[in-house]
Amino acid sequence: MKKVAVIGAGTMGNGIAHTFAQNGFEVCLIDINKDALKIGLQTIDANLDRMVAKEKITVQQKQDTLDNIVPFTNIEEGVDNVTLVVEAATENLDLKLKIFKELDEACSETAILATNTSSISITQIASVTSKPERVIGMHFMNPVPIMPLVEIINGYNTSKEVTKTIMDLSKTLGKVPVEVNDYPGFVANRILMPMLNESIETLYNGVAGVEEIDNVMKLGMAHPMGPLQLADFIGLDVCLSILNVMYEGFKNPKYAPCPLLVNMVRAGKLGVKSGEGFYDYSENKKADKVASQFMK
């Protein structure tokens, strides 16, 4: 397995492509948006420059990594003759179902179809394909080149052979794969999102301010980043989407998103990516400071 395709050149997609390419894989990076593809490649280049500056890789290793990535704007062309596809498009069920229907028609019978979804059912995604036993979840953490964990999520029909292949593959990327089963939020977000939501509720109820809440968790619980700052980093729209999936999946009010989170997303205050969330990222390059905490 030396040729893979990654669908989506956004934050997660370009990070996944970077990681595979740095480990010697030929990567077809696919995004129908030419501008998004260009920005994704620029992001990979900039992140590699940081690694060179910190002497984690050589200039030649950077160039080899870039040479391993070939951009495409067409799914059918991009997945030709690949053995693995990792879908990292927007966390939207309808979009993912559409993509997997296309992949089912365009990919070889033996290709493994993986999704980087952080909350959507693997079983539901697999249901639109003719080979659900070859569909699996590969939930990478952000930023992908740095964070070691990969949640490997089995759908109801995922074969043991496919699971073993993806577990072994993740180790070759220098990651630590953890096998879990297909329930809303899996493990990472089933635990993380209620904590972030409760932090937002704490702010909403006037118990303490933003920095006070974050400092309690950083200084008292040894978290590297406070929960409100982490929510900004993930994207408040993404947090809301995951909570909604869990709420719908479990029908349990403890997963209901805080009204403050809902209103902030409606107002376009999405965190780092929009320039404002619980913190203001428009001045002093605070967004770069947030990201640098994970890029050391």
Binding residues for NAD(+): 8-13, 31, 91, 96, 118, 142, 273
CB-based burial label for 174 (10 Å; 0-12, 13-18, 19+):
exposed
The yes-or-no answer on residue 151 being catalytic is yes
Catalytic: 118? yes
Which of 162, 154, 74, 167 minimizes the C-alpha distance to 112? 162
Catalytic residue, candidates 14, 68, 151, 241: 151
Residue 105 annotated in active site = no
Active site residue 18: no
Q: Is the dihedral of CA 47, 13, 272, 220 positive or negative?
A: negative
Under 8 Å between Cβ of 139 and 153: yes
- Dist CA 44 CA 57 (whole Å): 14
Residue 257 DSSP one-character state:
P
Query: Which amino acid is it at 10?
Result: G
Please report, for the chain, how many H helices and E strands are present, in that order: 14, 8
Lay out the sheet containing 3-7: strands in order across: 69-72, 26-30, 3-7, 84-87, 112-115, 135-140, 149-154, 176-181
Of residues 130, 228, 175, the one with CA closest to residue 19: 175
User: Which residue out of 14, 68, 119, 189 is catalytically annotated?
Assistant: 189
Q: Give me the catalytic one of 47, 68, 118, 119.
A: 118
Phi-psi region of 100 (alpha: psi -120 to 50; beta: other; left: phi over 0): alpha
Catalytic option among 139, 170, 199, 241: 139
Q: Which residues are annotated as a binding site?
A: 8-13, 31, 91, 96, 118, 142, 273
**3-state SS string for 34-56:** HHHHHHHHHHHHHHHHHHHHCCC
Where in the sequence numbering do the catalytic residues fall?
118, 139, 151, 189
